[in-house]
Amino acid sequence: GVMEKLGLGPEVLLQENPRLIYARLTGFGQTGRYAKSAGHDINYLALSGVLSKLGRKDENPYAPINLLADFAGGGVMCALGIVTALYERNKSGKGQIIDASMVKGVAYLSSFLWKSQNLGLWNRPRGENLLDSGAPYYETYKTSDGKFMAVGAIEPQFYEQLIKGLGLDSDKLPSQLSFSDWPEMKKKFASIFAQKTQAEWCSIFDGTDACVTPVLSFDDVALHQHNKQRSSFIKNDQEEISPRPAPLLSRTPAVPSLKRDPFIGEHTEEILLEYGFTKQEISKLYSDKVVEISKPKANL
């Protein structure tokens, strides 16, 4: 209802321009009991059911920072809705309103969890399933130098290469799918991984299909050979590192800006002047706290 109070609701604007695509991105959506309630990623994740699946055995559910509901279920789903509406407009010539709710977005994002329940992937308690740290071959393990390795050797042929790299004999081990042996196998794998450094494990598993990779920190990720070869990270003019835009389009690839991120309000005056506001009007907007203006200070 915020935009309606400003007289800029979708019905008003669509009367002005029927081709307009008006996206409304909220946590709980435009209707429902919680529609006007405050919330954050963890709340939207909780209400979607997804949070109940995240976490280790005998521990509280945990939220993976704020990537799932805010960015994946919210921003990406909303952007996809806009793209879909743009495509539809080519046929109908009409715009429409997009109700992008983070609760519904992240719930839909989790469709795999719902559809795979009867396949035996998620029918055990949290932290005891194949992909939620239950399986010894889908886990992270600490190395002797305090770093970590990520293991995702699900398929039998990949699991066999994991076992080989660890120096074990599969004939002397329980079946890969023996749930009751998983806790003991995790202890065995952990004790072996703890005997070598991350670099030593990389020298063993790089070039194999064991699905074992280093857990890279933000300090190391841009220096890794694979990421360097893919130019996956870029530096701006302040030497700050960030991910390169993805995915890569063959004909019209994104051209990343190498300038530093702007300060909040840095270009407010410049943009308002472009749109015909006078300096007096801008000063009034600033004094009324309608806009924020922040000029960068010169380094003398």
Active site residue 171: no
| Nearest alpha-carbon partner for 122 in 111, 131, 135 | 131
Residues 163 and 97 placed together within one structural domain of the fold: no
Based on the fold, state whether residues 16 and 90 are members of the same structural domain: yes
How far from 187 is each of 51, 82, 88, 129, 184, CA to CA, in Å? Answer: 27, 48, 54, 17, 5
Active site residue 226: no
- Domain of 55, in residue numbers: 2-119
| Co-location of 41 and 110 in the same domain | yes
**20 dihedral zone (left: phi>0; alpha: psi -120 to 50; beta):** beta
> Which tens digits make up the pLDDT trace of 145-176?
999 999 999 999 999 999 999 999 999 999 99
- Beta carbons of 189 and 136 less than 8 angstroms apart: yes
> Is 202 a domain residue?
yes
Same domain, 110 and 147: no
Residue 193 near residue 204, CB atoms below 8 Å: no
Of the candidates 40, 206, 209, 220, the residue annotated as catalytic is 40
Is 231 inside a domain boundary?
no
> Is 244 within a domain?
no
DSSP at 102: H
- Identify the helix (H) or strand (E) that includes residue 149: strand 148-152
What value does the mean pLDDT of the chain take?
A: 95
9 lies in some domain: yes
Confidence of residue 300 (pLDDT cuts 50, 70, 90): low
Residue 125 lies in a domain: no
Query: Would residue 155 count as lying in a domain?
Result: yes
Residue 157 and residue 65 share a domain: no
Q: Which of 41, 58, 70, 132 is catalytic?
A: 70
Q: Does the residue 126 lie in any domain?
A: no
Domain count, the chain: 3
CATH number of the domain enclosing 67: 3.40.50.10540
Q: Which of 119, 151, 172 is the last residue of a domain?
A: 119
Residue 101 in any domain: the answer is yes
pLDDT, tens digit, 9 for 90 and up, residues 28-76: 999 999 999 999 999 999 999 999 999 999 999 999 999 999 999 999 9
Phi-psi region of 200 (alpha: psi -120 to 50; beta: other; left: phi over 0): alpha
Structure confidence by residue, pLDDT tens digits, 170-204: 999 999 999 999 999 999 999 999 999 999 999 99
CATH number (domain holding residue 185): 3.30.1540.10
